[in-house]
Amino acid sequence: MKPLCALLTVLLTFSSTALSLPLPNTDEDDFLAEDLEELHNLMASLKMKRLLENLKKEAKIHALLSAIAMNDEIVEEDREEEKEREELSREIENLNILGRMVREENDEENSTRKRRAAIFKRLLEDNITFPKVDEESLRGFIEKFHKTLPSRHAHNRGSRRIGTFPRNAEGGSLDFGEFDLG
């Protein structure tokens, strides 16, 4: 047991002196310290690279989202412009239809005017003079004219061609029917 006690004493003294003495600074320790510092710098640069990559990815995603939003706005503006174009084309079409109707009406008025002018010219060429008409008999004729059925009047008016007035056998004067030309 003595050898065991001696061994324990040696170990105890060695461990107490080893703990109390500072470790000597050797070249190996400097090399390890440099390696640790280099490793620390490498880890920091890797973390910075990852952070930059993540920021770039986020910037790309943000740019894509912005582009999508702008595209949606452009598509919406295009739809609104298309609706405005359609409304404008409908308005133009309606104006064209209205213009055609006005031209047709104007053409009818022109042809009516020309017809009246031709009748008046024929009357002037035949040297016809208009006699004085009694106002009461003219009113009676107008009232009688308005009392006739519209369909009969429209049928007669549309199917007859305006010609010369019938002449009275006596003296070549015009026969105006029931008028008192007296």
Question: Residue 125 and residue 110: Cα distance in Å, rounded?
Answer: 22
β partners of residue 167 = 174
Q: Which residue has the tokens 């020309």?
A: 114
Beta strands in 83-137 (DSSP E): none
Q: What is the pLDDT of residue 41?
A: 92
Question: Residue 167 and residue 172: Cα distance in Å, rounded?
Answer: 6
Q: What is the pLDDT of residue 92?
A: 92
Question: Residue 59 and residue 53: Cα distance in Å, rounded?
Answer: 10
Report whether 175 contacts 128 (CB < 8 A).
no
Question: Residue 177 and residue 83: Cα distance in Å, rounded?
Answer: 65
Q: Is the pLDDT confidence value at 131 over 70? A: no
150-166 pLDDT, tens per residue? 554 444 554 454 545 55
Q: What is the pLDDT of residue 182?
A: 46
Identify the band that residue 177 occupies on the pLDDT scale cut at 50, 70 and 90: low
Give Cβ neighbours of residue 177 (< 8 Å, ≥ 6 apart). 141
Going by C-alpha positions, the residue among 131, 134, 130, 129 that lies closest to residue 180 is 134
Average pLDDT score over the chain: 76
Q: Which residue has the tokens 């008046």?
A: 120
Give Cβ neighbours of residue 29 (< 8 Å, ≥ 6 apart). 23
Amino acid at 39: L
Supply φ then ψ for residue 128, to 5 degrees.
Answer: -90, 135
Question: Residue 83 and residue 74: Cα distance in Å, rounded?
Answer: 14
Instruction: Name the residue with higher pLDDT: 10 or 171.
Output: 10
22-73 pLDDT, tens per residue? 555 567 788 888 888 998 999 999 999 999 999 999 999 999 999 898 988 9
Lowest mean pLDDT across 15-19, 42-46, 116-120: 15-19
Q: To the nearest whole percent, how much of the chain has pLDDT over 90?
A: 26
The winner for highest mean pLDDT among 81-85, 91-95, 107-111 is 81-85
Q: What is the pLDDT of residue 147?
A: 72
Buried b / exposed e over 119-139, threshold 16 CB at 10 Å, is eeeeeeeeeeeeeeeeeebee
